Chains A and B, each alone.
Chain A
């Protein structure tokens, strides 16, 4: 009952935030509201017991995405352009979509119904077989990184492609992209005492937590995607208080590129290793004498690849935006 009430409360807030985002003409408030939207979404996911998704949404949606949008906002005018917009057409399309989805929802199984088809077919198999075949407590990690590891490989390449796109579009053309390395000392928030002290306190813990999420993903919610995003949040905080130049000195752009490409390659190589050792593409069981150990090795290595790519790409995107003042 409490869950239901909290759920209704959160969902109403979600709707209110969404309407506010659409109505807001000030881009800055729209970006901040979309951060709030993601945070509410994360809470909703958590309420539905999807802890892994909630963690991702909080780290990526509310955290890194908001910072990236703000960095992008530096390059645009502060308010929405009122051009020849297709507002009416989009309202009609959105209304039609919503009505159709509501219509469809009348035929759907009740939320959490154990007899629902989605709970009856593959899910029980995953729950029953994961302890035996992969032997890790977090079944979500088992599905994402092994049973459907091929999809996750694809998602890593989606992230890499996004990075390539931003580096291609913003990184080229005029001059060197990261030419502000030797900029002045009073950069970022470095002149402000309180953020500086707070950040100095927080950053080590953020980075440590990222490593925990990375390497503990088999046991608790988390994994490479979340860890990468949290790690990036730490580094971005560092660039904000100490200036981007120092952050780039810690991890230079070329290293970021190697991380982005290397992570994706690492993941793919595990797949090829599966073939070379007599199994299928991305079959981790053949990586060791004991299939379960093989699964563990495979999952740890591919999660590392995910973490590397996500960190490299998100930081590259951040720097690419920050370098264009």
Chain B
């Protein structure tokens, strides 16, 4: 027995099986600690898997010893490794940085259930990232969605419940559409395994059920990914969720839906459906563009910092969707890099919000006036992550914006307008972030008190490591680029 051979399975099984143990605990602190340790080990496993992907590669893992398509396989490539790093990293960051904030949000008696749900959400997202089987993706999508609803509903604000109900309904519609699509494909090919599906689709090419299936799957996943205008569940869900939960889900959950979208559209459909690439572009690019422009504009008018960042997320998902919709190699590179870099920036920003709310008890921008002078360390980190979100050179955000601009320049006839849209949206990002930064540094605190009130040192250190990661990956982006190149290779393998 060599545990290294079982990394793909352990990546899912470890958080999944720790969850039932956590809910049996009676102490909130122990439950948090157990969740943090499990999440940290998952992060370690993700790093090991990443090393394996970049080195010798990770062989296909046949769960239960049954070879696909009869059994379920786990496949880990560069893109999966990228997602695993994001998911486990965001979860660990949220848990580690959220201790004080979560202790306030969730009473001790219910805490074990909460942290159990957190680990199940983590396991579900990891499960999607390693799955090589379309139905298995659905199962883990159900697991992660249900658990995420619980996490969001834990918000102190009662409006969290109505927000989560909306998310639940829309998320269920998205999952059902996905399932209908997979059902049609199974009907026409008799298989659920991605690789096998790509092979067998050739025989039933251009049949009605397959075309309809492609539509259902794309729309279902676009709902889950909150691609504009299917984003209506997102801003309220992010805003009313406990702050630490927002760090976790904002950094990774919509990206996992985009991940499945990429798997299906490139891994399965592109090589088989004539004109699918064009159709996909025609569908996704206009939506992505309107998201980039409109959501950025809406973000400018938000009075709540969490809602502002949530609308910014909708715009950023637009960048990822735009890049993915170009159906070119450069586009796919940009999409994957932006997933990684946006998660870094947004995770850091929401972690700063955790710290702000911890001391001021409000996420209202007006009430946060002067916070920059009272919490200089946290605010400094916020500015760094904000620069990365805008795409200033030297930060991680610049790398993916650069790749994105190069990718859209390659679109014949549309290069300049698309670049214009990206530039305008980035300028709007400057506006909405500046709005907050200005209030934070130059505004007068509501009660006139300007004494320093920083959060405890460990949280400050964590925030700063996250902020410095934005700079580190801006100066040496080798890791995400290598992973994205490997991911692009497997995705476009279906095109050759």
Q: How far is the CB of A110 from chain B (nearest CB, A)?
A: 11
Q: How far is the CA of A265 from the CA of B116 in the complex (A)?
A: 13
Query: Which 9 interchain pairs have the tightest Cβ spacing?
Result: A121-B190, A107-B208, A261-B20, A281-B9, A154-B139, A172-B110, A104-B212, A283-B65, A168-B113
Q: A117-B189, A160-B20 are in contact. Are A172 and B107 (CB under 8 A)?
A: yes
Q: Is B285 an interface residue (CB 8 A)?
A: no
Contact with B along A247-264 (1 / 0, CB 8 A): 000000000011011101
B149 engages A165 (CB within 8 Å): yes
**Chain B, Cβ-Cβ closest to A265:** B20
Chain B residues contacting A155 (CB-CB under 8 Å) are 139
Knowing A108-B187, A151-B139, the reply to whether A279 touches B154 (Cβ < 8 A) is no
Q: Assess the A104–B9 pair: CB atoms within 8 A.
A: no
**Which listed segment binds A: B38-46, B68-76, B252-260, B291-299?**
B68-76
Q: Which of B10, B116, B212 contacts A103 (CB 8 A)?
A: B212
**Which residues in A have their C-beta under 8 angstroms from that of B190?**
116-123
In the complex, what residue of chain B is closest to A117 when comparing beta carbons? B190
Q: Please measure, in the bound complex, the distance between the C-alpha atom of A155 and the C-alpha atom of B140, giving whole angstroms.
A: 9
Q: Report whether B208 and A164 are in contact in the complex, using a CB–CB cutoff of 8 Å.
A: no
Closest to B17 in A: A268
- CB-defined contacts of A283 to chain B, threshold 8 Å: 64-65
Expressed in whole angstroms, the Cα–Cα distance for A107 and B61 within the complex equals 35
Given contacts A146-B66, A165-B149, A265-B20, 15 further A-B contacts (CB under 8 A): A108-B208, A117-B204, A120-B190, A121-B191, A122-B69, A122-B70, A123-B190, A125-B70, A150-B64, A157-B143, A158-B139, A164-B117, A164-B120, A165-B150, A265-B21
- State whether the Cβ of A149 lies closer than 8 Å to any Cβ in chain B: yes
Partner of A151, one of B21, B136, B203: B136
Query: Cβ of B187 and Cβ of A100 under 8 Å apart?
Result: no
**Nearest Cβ distance between residue A113 and chain B, in whole angstroms?**
11
Q: Smallest CB–CB gap between A50 and chain B, Å? A: 14
B16 touches A268 (CB 8 A): yes
Q: What CA separation (Å) do A94 and B186 show in the bound complex?
A: 23
Assess A121 versus B189: contact at CB under 8 Å? Given A261-B23, A276-B1.
yes
A129 to B378, CA, bound (A): 61
Contact B150 A161 (CB under 8 A): yes
Closest residue to B135 on the A side, CB-wise? A151
Q: A280 to B107, Cβ gap below 8 A?
A: no
Would you call A167 and B200 a contact (CB within 8 A)?
Answer: no
10-42 of chain B: CB within 8 A of chain A: 10, 13, 16-17, 19-21, 23-24
Once A123-B190, A164-B150 are accepted as A-B contacts, the answer to whether A171 and B110 lie under 8 Å apart by CB is yes
B13 x A268 contact (CB < 8 A):
yes
Contact between B114 and A147 (Cβ–Cβ < 8 Å)?
Answer: no
Residue pair A284, B64 in contact (C-beta under 8 Å): yes
Taking a contact as CB atoms under 8 Å apart, the answer to whether B70 and A117 are in contact is no
Interface set of A (CB-CB < 8 Å, partner B): 100-101, 103-109, 116-123, 125-126, 129, 146-151, 153-155, 157-158, 160-162, 164-165, 167-169, 171-173, 257-258, 260-262, 264-265, 268-269, 271-272, 274-286
Identify the interface centre among A104, A279, A286: most chain B CB within 10 Å of its CB.
A104
User: Which residues of B in the span 434-476 have a Cβ within 8 Å of any Cβ on A?
Assistant: none
Inside 8 A of A268's CB, which chain B residues have their CB? 13, 16-17, 20
- Roughly how many angstroms separate A169 CA and B24 CA in the complex, as a whole number? 17
Chain B residue at minimum C-beta to C-beta distance from A146 = B64
Using a Cβ–Cβ cut-off of 8 Å, how many residues does chain B contribute to the interface with A?
64
A148 and B24 CA atoms in complex are apart in Å by: 28
A126 touches B70 (CB 8 A): yes
Is A165 within 8 A of B13, CB to CB?
no
| Candidates A154, A271, A276; contact of B140 at CB < 8 Å | A154
Q: Which residues of B contact A284 (CB under 8 A)?
A: 64
Q: Which residue of B lies closest to A152 (CB)?
A: B139
A161 to B16, CA, bound (A): 11
Cβ–Cβ contact A169 & B153, under 8 A: yes
Taking CB as reference atom, which chain A residue is nearest B107? Answer: A172
With the chains together, A108 CA to B189 CA distance in Å? 11
B127 interfacial by beta-carbon distance below 8 Å: yes
Q: How far is the CB of A123 from chain B (nearest CB, A)?
A: 7
What residues of chain A lie closer than 8 Å to B69, measured between beta carbons? 121-122
Q: Is the CB of A262 within 8 A of B120?
A: no
Report if A161-B64 is in contact (Cβ < 8 Å); known contacts: A106-B208, A154-B139, A168-B114.
no
Residue from A129, A271, A285 with most neighbouring chain B CB atoms (10 Å): A271
CB distance from A197 to the nearest CB of B (A): 39
Inter-chain contacts of A169 with B (CB < 8 A): 150, 153
